[in-house]
Structure formats: structure tokens, C-alpha cells
Amino acid sequence: MAGAACQEVRSTCPYCGTGCGVLLRPDGAGGLAVRGDPDHPANRGRLCSKGLALGETLGLEGRLLAPQVNGQQTDWDSALDLVAARFRQAVEQHGPDSVGFYLSGQMLTEDYYVANKLMKGFLGSANIDTNSRLCMASTVAGHKRAFGTDTVPGTYEDLDEADLIVLVGSNLAWCHPVLHQRILAAREARGTRLVVIDPRRTASCDQADMHLKLRAGSDVALFNRLLAALHEGGALDAEYLRHVNGLGEALDAAFAADAAVTGLESSEIAAFCELWMRTDKVVTIFSQGVNQSTSGTDKVNAILNCHLASGRIGKPGCGPFSVTGQPNAMGGREVGGLANMLACHMDLENSGHRAAVQEFWDAPAMPERAGLKAVDLFRAAGDGRLKALWIIHTNPAVTMPEADAVAAAIKTCEFTVVSDITAATDTARLADVLLPAAGWAEKDGTVTNSDRTISRQRAALPPPGEARADWDILADAGRRMGWGAAFDYQSPAQIFREHAALSGLAGSFGLDFDISGLSGLSDSDYEGLRPVRWPVSRSRQGGRFFADGQFFHPDGKARMLPVRCRPPAASQDRQYPFRLNTGRIRDQWHTMTRTGKAPRLSAHLAEPFADIHPEDARRLGVQPADLLRLSSPHGQAILRARITADVQPGDLFVPIHWTGETAPSARIDTLVAAAVDPVSGQPESKAAVVAAERWQAAWYGFAVSRRPMAPRTDYWAMTRTKTGYRAELAGSPPLGDAEAAARTLFAMPDAELQMMTDSSRGITRLALCRDGRVQAALFTAPEPVAVSRDYLAGLPGTCASGILTGVPAADQPDPGPLVCACFNVGASSILQAIETGGLLSVADVGAALQAGTNCGSCRSDIAALLARAAVPHAAE
Ligand SMILES: Nc1nc2c(c(=O)[nH]1)N[C@H]1C(S)=C(S)[C@@H](COP(=O)(O)OP(=O)(O)OC[C@H]3O[C@@H](n4cnc5c(=O)[nH]c(N)nc54)[C@H](O)[C@@H]3O)O[C@H]1N2
Ligand SMILES: Nc1nc2c(c(=O)[nH]1)N[C@H]1C(S)=C(S)[C@@H](COP(=O)(O)OP(=O)(O)OC[C@H]3O[C@@H](n4cnc5c(=O)[nH]c(N)nc54)[C@H](O)[C@@H]3O)O[C@H]1N2
Ligand code: SF4
Ligand SMILES: [Mo]
């Protein structure tokens, strides 16, 4: 820990489910140098831009450092006594189902285990759900329907050995960049084919052999067509099918399907089926384009059907592969932290499983029915059924569908507790009690990545202020509620041993999740634990599942499901003619509470946007850089329009990352209806319907400042820069006195002013200075402001006399928009190097500037710059 000042600490990246190993070297001043762990099997030393920038996210600015009750700072005893009393009181007066926990796939396994035990075994309710409901619930349900358990059959090695990899609803290049690079390396080495199935063109399509730009929500029809084609082409595996039930019904459904609903050419579909059929080693990777749908579970089973029927599962280089989003999405499923699970893949509704867990925990009360799933949990918080709600490690006021209603529910609920590392999230602002949590670099535990590998996360820094680890906070609350012995945990190692021992019970019921081989770890074994893939028991060790055709349904067989394509719940109509697709960008993590602190991560895409097809833009009279107003029955949003044929006519794509703290008009889940999949309860986050129109502002602005700004305009979006902050602004009432507006925006009533106005064009440019150095600058115009943003963002703190021109003088470099976040290289620098150095390939650019040589996710942008520079042979 902190004492081991300069030694490298082996840990795991806290972002995506790839689960990359990191080596952290404390600098002795609260910072960390971060590099990839060459010995970790998930990444073998590689990191993406987000992992590489972890050291920039550690600052204490914005951290929650002490407990608060009703906005007043207090001590831990007062805060936790209150939490314990209110939860006990609610259970006593209104029954166990009057309380709830809403957790996160980013919690460590040990945190999760304690929360699940406290709610299910002691408070006696199953009202414990997590953001995994928004993320992986459809996969869990699909796996259980097909396999009898929630098992990810394959491993990352399968990506190295496959001959065909199909990405369905996954933008792997941006969301799991290290896995994507691993696939591209295999492609280089052995010619692996890559197919992308996504209604929009993404960075993952750049190196793909085929992009099937299907209509949103139509995946089931495509995979049904594939199943039928496998049958027609004689590609079913009769031997393997002896282990599988349901072929006949599934085929009937497949033959009844009409692939025309995908909107794809029949020749494209035929080429895809042909490629699949011809290739023995096929991995199908799927993610949120599959899960986040009202037919998410059916989409999962449509994919699993094809792998089961063709025997392409359980063998090297084969299998359906759900890549998990959050670093411990898998661990959360393993401890059973969802409202319809028990623990260790045991079943809440199975009385034998329930009795065994109750005895193991020595628990006073166990629920017999599933609890409320996320959407219903917040509805119950809003309508008074829940009397006490504890939200840990997640920001539902931003990320739940119908986010305005969720925010209102959190505020309305009689008693809400939020555990977070950040003081002012949209959710934290609504809570009665705030509890300061230790962050990823400050606490110990384990996480499980997408391929079932359990890795240690290790503390490299002391927790700041009074922050405590989540497991410790939960266990303390459990003791104060009166269950001293059950929650008498001294360390995460102790919790892990208990969890591992409980999994032995699951193993004895014949279930897949069994890590009882780790239940005897000593504290020092746990400290030194190397990455290990489950199962870990006397009879099983790591490896693939289902090679032997043994499944976990009572008859030991797998099940194929008859699935039929259903369109998304909401249909486009005259009032709401656009379909709203939502997702992620390369360099931000969810609500940006951590990645938003790193200037180079914020530089990639600094503003929320809506991608709109050129035909739609023309029809709506939308020009490049205009603002677009979106509205749905649930809310409104204003974002910058990006006109691009990457999206289909009638579709819009918007990123999910902006919040009340960073761009209040771009909180996208205010627009999204809470329609859920009937099997999994997972919301349809990618197919709401909205209206769109050009939003005409009276003025537009761009501002830079050394300190945070306090914008109060209809539209604003603020991000970090190396010198401070930058903001885009727009307002519908006229700006009026620009100087007064700027002084308020920057809270600088008496700084020196430099100002330039061009009243004929309505343009104002002003800078506020101290001692000759620029502190802040504001540029306004009646049209979207045209200035060099990257140049201006570098100026606060300098004595740049030419700031009011808005562009660099001829002798000064303008780095241009950031392209490579790993090495901080801008587009202008790359273009200049291409011209002056006569560079011909992405590899040349890498050799000259390092750009694109680490995580590789900007290589397609570099290729585009090479093409723009009109150099012949601009390929790799
Ligand atoms: N940079 C970054 N990486 C992340 C995260 C992050 O916040 N930032 N978050 C992590 C988490 S928690 C998750 S869950 C993963 C998510 O990882 P992904 O699922 O890869 O990411 P998304 O951008 O949500 O959505 C993937 C794609 O689904 C497509 N899609 C939409 N509708 C459909 C459809 O009907 N069918 C098909 N086939 N595709 C469709 C979208 O166009 C989008 O390109 O990323 C993880 N990694
Ligand atoms: N429209 C739409 N909505 C979506 C999605 C989508 O694709 N489209 N994706 C959905 C998916 S897949 C996901 S996973 C969710 C993600 O959504 P959320 O989980 O709500 O988003 P995060 O920003 O990851 O929230 C994590 C919170 O935990 C805090 N935190 C960080 N470290 C710690 C810690 O160690 N302890 C504690 N207690 N707190 C900590 C952070 O400050 C932050 O407030 O969004 C979902 N919502
Ligand atoms: S791919 Fe990037 S975000 Fe994901 S675990 Fe690895 S370094 Fe972290
Ligand atoms: Mo997720």
C-alpha cells in the first residue's frame, strides 16, 4: 500500500470488462505512474487511452471526502447509525420489501458479496438490483434459457484462434479497445475475417470484411435466417445436437422468419451466411446492440441457437461470446447481486438452494420471490412503496431510462443514501445521506472479466479524507443493524474466502460457478493471487465449458429456443419520426466522473452531439455545427448536430456521457422510454423514438478559462483542458452586455478586459486578464462560432497578446483536434508530419510521432488524415 512508496503495485484497470492488468507506481505525492502489466493474460502489457490516462484521474478535486447528512458534514458514527436505524425501522414498520439497494457492476466482488448478503439474508428482501440490469441482464437470461446457467463458454484465446469473428451490436474498437487490437493482431497473423452487424457505421467497421447495416432491432430475423441457412446447407452438427433440445421448434421459427425486415440486401445476407457456414471456427461477440432491447433475450438466444446447432461452441476458436461492459459485471453475477438471483449462480426460487444459502449465512430471513428490477425499483421509490434506498457506485439519475422520473423518485423517496467517490453527481445531489467511498486505486478486492478470469485489484494509495472501502461501509452498517457476527469482516480476503466456500455449495448442486479451490487462501495467498479463470475446484480448472456437451438444465442438455423477430417497442410516427440510438465514445467512461478529469481524454470529443443523416439534415434545414433539439414524451435535449452517413436515414446516434454537471441539456436518458424486455427486464436503451428540429439560438459562444465556469445558458457543455476548462454555449434570449455576461460566467468582476466587437457581424471577442496573463476568454457570434478551439484551449495562463484573433499567428503551431489520446498528438501535427516527412502509411506516422502505436484505436483516424493529405497509397 502507501508504505511501499516506489514499488510497482499489480492491479486491474477499473473501466471495461476486458480486465487489463496494470502496474501502478506511486510517485510519493498522491499520483501514480500507470503502465500495462506484461504478465496479465487479458492484455499482455497493452492498455487503451483510458487505461493509460488513469494517473490523470486521481486528483482530489470534486472528491467526496466526509459523510454528509442533509448537506451537512458529519462523522461516520452519526451517518451510519442513521442509515442502520432508518433501514431497520422501514423493515419493522413496512416489511422487508420496503427497502432496496441499487448497485453497480463496478463494485468489487467483496463489496457486492456483503451487499447481497445484507439485503437477501438479513434485511430479508430481494429488492437488490444493479446497473447490470441496464447492461447484461438479457445475456444472463439468454444464457440461462439455453445452458441452464449463466455461463460464458469461451475464453480470450478463442479470439486468437478463430477464423471468423462476428461483432453484433458491439463497437469493440472503442469499448473494448485492447480486445479489438488482439483481434486485429490475429487478423494480421492468420487472416481472421471480421464482420460487423450494427445499424450504424462505427470505428469497428474500419478493418472489417463486411458491415451489415441492418435496421435497428432486427437481429433476430438475421440470425433466424442464418439458422435456416445452416440447415439448408447441411451445416448442422448432428453429433453435437444429441446434447441439445428444441432444434425442431427453433427451425420452424427460423423458416417462418422474414429476413427482409433487416432492410439488408438478400445478397448481403447470403454472403454472411455463406461465410459463417464455410468457417469452422466462428466466434460471435455480442454486446449492447443485442442486450439493450425489448427483444434482447431473444436476440441472445437467436445467436446461441446458431452456435449450438452447428456445434461451434466449447471448441478452440469457437463460441458465442458476451463481452461484459463493466470491470466486474461478471463478479456481480457470480455473487448473485441481481433481484432474481441468489448467490453463486444458485436460484432464488429453488427452495433447496435457498435453504442451503440460509444455513451457510446463518441468516434470519430469506426472500422466496424475486425482488424489484431496476425500472420497477425506482418506480417503487417514486410512489412511496420503498421507504429507504441505498445507491452504491452508480449514477442512475443520469443513466436510467426516463431519467427525469428517476431523479424525481430519488428525491421523493423518504430516505436515500448514496455511496460515491464524487461529491456532486446528479444522483448525489438528490440524496439524504452521502457516504465517501475509497476509489479504485485505494482499495483491495477482486474482479472477474469477460472470460471468467478473476484478478486482484490492489490499493496503491491511501484513501483521502475519511473515505472507506464499500465492503467496509456495508459491513459496518450490517453490524449497526444488529448482525454483528455475520458482518464482522476485517478484510476483503476474509470475505473472498467466505464467497469461495459458498460457491462450493453451488458446485455440490452441480452448478458451473465453483471456486471452492480458493476458499483456503491465506491472507498472503490472497495478497499474491495471480489472475485465475474459474471454475477452480477439485474437479475443474479454468478452460472452456460445453466441449463435452454437458449443460446445466436438469436433463443435462442445452436448449434451442424458437424466437421470432419483434420490432422495438415504440414505433416511429408522424409526431416522433426518428429512432434514437445511444452509446459510447472512445475516451469517456459513462457519466465522466473519472475520465472527465483527464484533459487528453476530454479532447477527443469535447461536446455532446447527435449524428444525423445528410438527407434528414437537409430536410430539417440543419447545417454543420447547428444545434438540434430532440424531444420525446419523456423529455427534451439540445445537442450539436454532426451530419454523417454513418447513421441511416431516420436514425440518430447520441453519446450517453453528458450530465447535469457537464451539459445539462444533453442528458440523453431523459428522452428514453423505460420499455423493458419481458424476460430480462432490461430497458430498450437504443431504440426510443424522438422528434428532431433545428434549434435556433440568438447567440453562440465558445469560452476558455483557467477555472470552472458557471454557465446558465439554454445550451452549454464544459470539459477539461490542459490549461483549465473550455465550454460551448448558446442562448435563446439575446446575450445583451457581453462584458457583464463574461464577468458572471467566469466570476471575475474586476479582471482587466480586452475586447473587440464587430457590430456589423454581431461578433464579440473578449479576454479577461490578470498581470498580463489571460485568465479567460469568450467569443460570441449570431452563428456557431468559428475559431481554432484547440489553439484557444492552450492559451489561459499565457500572455498571448493575439488571443482575440482566435487563430494562431503564422509562426505559432496549432495542434489541431486531438487524434491520438495515448501520446497526445493532434491532427495538424500529423498532417504537417505527413507533408514534411513524406509519410505514406499509418506505420510511418507511428514511427515519426508515436501516434497510433499504443492502443491503436486512432489508427483509422490517421488513415483518414493520410487520405486527406492526398498522398498516394495511403493505406497501411
Ligand atoms: N469508451 C468506453 N468504453 C466502454 C464504456 C464506456 O462508457 N466508454 N462502457 C463499458 C460498458 S459498461 C459497456 S456495457 C460496454 C458497451 O459496449 P458496446 O455495446 O460495444 O457499446 P455501445 O456503444 O453501447 O453499443 C454498441 C453498438 O450497438 C449498436 N446498436 C444499436 N442498436 C442495435 C441493434 O438493434 N442491433 C445491433 N446489432 N446493433 C445495435 C450501436 O449502434 C452501437 O454501435 O462498453 C464498455 N466500454
Ligand atoms: N441511453 C443509454 N443509457 C444507458 C446505456 C446506454 O447504452 N444507453 N448503458 C447502460 C449501461 S450498459 C451501464 S453499465 C450504465 C452505466 O451507468 P452508471 O453506472 O450509472 O454510470 P457511472 O458513471 O459508471 O457511475 C458510477 C458512479 O460510481 C462512482 N464511483 C467511482 N468509483 C467508485 C467507488 O469505488 N465506490 C463508489 N461507491 N462509487 C464510485 C462514480 O463517481 C459515479 O458516480 O448506463 C446505462 N445507461
Ligand atoms: S481495454 Fe482499456 S478500458 Fe478496458 S480494461 Fe483495458 S485499459 Fe481498461
Ligand atoms: Mo454496461
Domain boundaries, the chain: 2-57, 68-135+328-533, 148-322, 578-672, 699-805, 818-875
Q: Is 437 helix (H, G, I), strand (E, B) or coil?
A: strand
Cβ–ligand 3 distance for 220 under 6 Å, the answer: no
Neighbour tally for 523: CB within 10 Å: 13
Cβ–ligand 3 distance for 824 under 6 Å, the answer: no
Ligand 2 geometric centre to CA of 306 (Å) = 33
Give the Cα separation of 566 and 552 in Å (integer).
28
Helix then strand then coil, % of the chain, to nearest 5: 35, 20, 45
Q: Which of 402, 470, 591, 632 to mutate to test the pocket of ligand 2 (most atoms within 8 A of CB)?
A: 591
Neighbouring residues of 188: CB distance < 8 A, sequence distance ≥ 6: none
Q: Do domains 578-672 and 818-875 have the same CATH topology?
A: no
The three-state DSSP-derived secondary structure of 678-692 is: CCCCCECCCCEEEEE
Give the Cα separation of 309 and 76 in Å (integer).
56
CA of 443, closest atom in ligand 2: 35
Ligand 3 geometric centre to CA of 22 (Å) = 9
* Per-residue confidence (pLDDT) for residue 493, from 0 to 100: 98
Placement of cell 433447496 in the chain:
352
Give strand pairing partners of 73. 68
* Per-residue confidence (pLDDT) for residue 811, from 0 to 100: 63
Placement of cell 448536430 in the chain:
641
Question: Which numbered ligand comes closest to the C-alpha of 181?
Answer: 3
**One-letter identity of residue 733:** P
Ligand 4 geometric centre to CA of 824 (Å) = 27
Q: At what angle do helices 492-508 and 109-116 cross, to 10 degrees?
A: 70
List the 282-286 sheet strands across, edge first: 210-212, 193-197, 164-168, 282-286, 319-322
Give the Cα separation of 277 and 39 in Å (integer).
36
Question: Which numbered ligand comes closest to the C-alpha of 594?
Answer: 2
- Residue 223 phi/psi, 5° resolution? -75, -25
Cα→Cα distances 361→92, 390, 472, 815, Å: 21, 22, 18, 59
Instruction: Give the CB-side neighbour count of residue 269, counting CA atoms within 13 A.
Output: 24
Q: Which of 377, 443, 593 to mutate to test the pocket of ligand 2 (most atoms within 8 A of CB)?
A: 593
The length of the chain in residues reads 876
* Cβ–Cβ under 8 Å, residues 320 and 304: yes
**One-letter identity of residue 603:** A
Q: Which of 43, 156, 590, 855 to mutate to test the pocket of ligand 3 (most atoms within 8 A of CB)?
A: 43
Residue identifier of the C-alpha nearest atom 6 of ligand 3: 20
Of 413, 404, 460, 459, which is closest to residue 433 (Cα–Cα)?
A: 413
pLDDT tens string 470-527:
999 999 999 999 999 999 999 999 999 999 999 999 999 999 999 999 999 999 999 9
Range list of β-strands (E), 223-277 = 244-245
- The DSSP result for 702-726, as a single string, is EEEESS-----SSEEEEEE-SSSEE
Of 83, 182, 144, which is closest to residue 474 (Cα–Cα)?
A: 83
The three-state DSSP-derived secondary structure of 216-235 is: CCCHHHHHHHHHHHHHHCCC
Indicate the CATH number for domain 68-135+328-533.
3.40.50.740
Cβ–ligand 2 distance for 431 under 6 Å, the answer: no
Ligand 2 geometric centre to CA of 849 (Å) = 34
Cβ–ligand 3 distance for 18 under 6 Å, the answer: yes
CA gyration radius for the chain?
Answer: 27
Ligand 2 geometric centre to CA of 181 (Å) = 25
CA of 135, closest atom in ligand 2: 12
- Residue 564 phi/psi, 5° resolution? -125, 140
Neighbouring residues of 426: CB distance < 8 A, sequence distance ≥ 6: 395, 397, 398, 407, 591, 659, 660, 661, 667
Residue identifier of the C-alpha nearest atom 18 of ligand 1: 170
* Per-residue confidence (pLDDT) for residue 874, from 0 to 100: 34
Q: Is 18 helix (H, G, I), strand (E, B) or coil?
A: coil
* Cβ–Cβ under 8 Å, residues 685 and 582: yes
- What architecture does CATH give domain 148-322? 3-Layer(aba) Sandwich (3.40)
Of 460, 527, 463, which is closest to residue 27 (Cα–Cα)?
A: 460
Indicate the CATH number for domain 578-672.
2.40.40.20
Give the Cα separation of 690 and 37 in Å (integer).
45
Cα→Cα distances 601→78, 325, 406, 538, 735, Å: 39, 19, 29, 45, 31
Distance from the first to the final alpha carbon of the chain: 44
- The DSSP result for 758-787, as a single string, is ETTTTEEEEEEEETTEEEEEEEEESS---S
Q: Which of 200, 393, 474, 684 to mutate to test the pocket of ligand 2 (most atoms within 8 A of CB)?
A: 393
- The bridge status of strand 715-720 relative to strand 68-69 is unpaired
* Cβ–Cβ under 8 Å, residues 582 and 686: yes
Residue identifier of the C-alpha nearest atom 4 of ligand 3: 16
Ligand 2 geometric centre to CA of 501 (Å) = 30
Cβ–ligand 2 distance for 583 under 6 Å, the answer: yes
Mean pLDDT for back-to-back runs of 10 residues, the chain (876 residues): 67 98 95 97 97 96 97 98 98 98 98 98 98 98 97 97 98 98 96 98 96 98 98 98 98 97 98 98 98 98 98 98 97 95 95 97 96 98 98 98 98 98 98 98 98 98 98 98 98 98 96 97 98 95 94 97 98 97 97 96 93 98 95 97 97 98 97 98 98 97 96 96 96 94 96 93 94 94 88 86 74 72 82 84 87 84 81 38
Of 502, 220, 231, 494, which is closest to residue 345 (Cα–Cα)?
A: 502
Q: Is 398 helix (H, G, I), strand (E, B) or coil?
A: helix
- The bridge status of strand 635-643 relative to strand 558-559 is unpaired
Give the Cα separation of 152 and 147 in Å (integer).
10
Cβ–ligand 3 distance for 393 under 6 Å, the answer: no
Cβ–ligand 2 distance for 669 under 6 Å, the answer: yes
Cβ–ligand 3 distance for 51 under 6 Å, the answer: yes
| Cis bond upstream, residue 535 (ω within 30) | yes
- The bridge status of strand 416-420 relative to strand 32-36 is unpaired
Cβ–ligand 2 distance for 104 under 6 Å, the answer: yes
* Per-residue confidence (pLDDT) for residue 494, from 0 to 100: 98
Give the Cα separation of 180 and 674 in Å (integer).
31
* Cβ–Cβ under 8 Å, residues 491 and 524: no
CA of 48, closest atom in ligand 3: 2
Q: Which three cell numbers stand for residue 847?
A: 514511427
CA of 172, closest atom in ligand 1: 20
Note if the pTM is more than 0.85: yes
Neighbouring residues of 21: CB distance < 8 A, sequence distance ≥ 6: 10, 11, 12, 13, 36, 37, 39, 40, 42, 43, 455, 531
Question: What residue ranges line ligand 1, CB within 6 angstroms?
Answer: 16, 135, 168-171, 174-175, 197-200, 202, 216-217, 219, 287-289, 293, 325-326, 581, 583-584, 586, 588-590, 686
Classify 543 in phi/psi space as left (phi over 0), alpha (psi -120 to 50) or beta: left
CA of 449, closest atom in ligand 3: 5
Residue identifier of the C-alpha nearest atom 4 of ligand 1: 175
* Per-residue confidence (pLDDT) for residue 815, from 0 to 100: 67
Of 610, 222, 384, 213, which is closest to residue 205 (Cα–Cα)?
A: 213
**One-letter identity of residue 590:** H
Residue identifier of the C-alpha nearest atom 4 of ligand 2: 399
CA of 200, closest atom in ligand 1: 42
Cβ–ligand 3 distance for 177 under 6 Å, the answer: yes
- The bridge status of strand 282-286 relative to strand 319-322 is parallel
* Per-residue confidence (pLDDT) for residue 871, from 0 to 100: 40
Give the Cα separation of 737 and 874 in Å (integer).
50
Instruction: Give the CB-side neighbour count of residue 126, counting CA atoms within 13 A.
Output: 19
Q: Which of 178, 601, 857 to mutate to test the pocket of ligand 3 (most atoms within 8 A of CB)?
A: 178
- Residue 294 phi/psi, 5° resolution? -70, -10
* Cβ–Cβ under 8 Å, residues 399 and 667: no
Q: Which three cell numbers stand for residue 839?
A: 509519410
Cβ–ligand 2 distance for 458 under 6 Å, the answer: no
Range list of β-strands (E), 52-92 = 68-69, 72-73
* Cβ–Cβ under 8 Å, residues 500 and 516: yes
Residue identifier of the C-alpha nearest atom 2 of ligand 3: 48
* Per-residue confidence (pLDDT) for residue 2, from 0 to 100: 43
Cβ–ligand 3 distance for 182 under 6 Å, the answer: no
Question: Which numbered ligand comes closest to the C-alpha of 601?
Answer: 1
Residue identifier of the C-alpha nearest atom 36 of ligand 1: 289
- The bridge status of strand 825-826 relative to strand 818-820 is antiparallel
Cβ–ligand 2 distance for 301 under 6 Å, the answer: no
To which CATH superfamily is domain 2-57 assigned?
Answer: ADC-like domains (2.20.25.90)
CA of 425, closest atom in ligand 2: 44
Q: Which of 20, 22, 49, 592 to mutate to test the pocket of ligand 3 (most atoms within 8 A of CB)?
A: 20
Residue identifier of the C-alpha nearest atom 24 of ligand 2: 590
Q: Which of 18, 104, 198, 858 to mutate to test the pocket of ligand 1 (most atoms within 8 A of CB)?
A: 198
**Would you tell me which CATH number, out of the four given (3.90.550.10, 3.90.320.10, 1.10.10.1100, 1.10.260.40), belongs to the domain 818-875?**
1.10.10.1100
Cβ–ligand 2 distance for 666 under 6 Å, the answer: no
User: 553 exposed, middle or buried (CB, 10 Å; 0-12, 13-18, 19+)?
Assistant: middle
Q: Which of 421, 682, 686 to mutate to test the pocket of ligand 2 (most atoms within 8 A of CB)?
A: 421
